Amino acid sequence: MLWADTGEVSHITPIGSLEGPPPEDYTDPQASSTEPSPTPQPGFLGTSLPMEYGYATVALIIVAIAVATGYLYLKRERRKARAGKGEV
């Protein structure tokens, strides 16, 4: 961290993968574990998206089809009603 006005270094912390090697007495908690680490399960369409997105997508498609079908049905009924009255 640098002071903006003087440019003086106030604090240094290594971050990311540029960090030095771990201390001599460091033990990796994952290395001592006997349980295998869980493998990520594929989500929606084999991606990492949660399955809930898949359910929401399917529900949205069903609603869109229902709305489109209803609209076309009502449009046809109005056309029939006009044709019955002599209008075209």
Query: What are the domain boundaries of the chain?
Result: 49-88
pLDDT in tens for each of the 88 residues of the chain?
777 788 888 777 766 665 666 667 767 665 555 666 666 666 666 677 777 888 899 999 999 999 999 999 999 999 998 888 765 5
In angstroms, rounded to a whole number, what is the distance separating the alpha carbons of residues 58 and 61?
5
Q: State the pLDDT at residue 68.
A: 97
Q: Is the pTM of this model over 0.75?
A: no
22: its two tokens: 């771990």
**Residue 32 has what pLDDT?**
55
Residues 64, 70: Cα–Cα separation, whole Å = 10
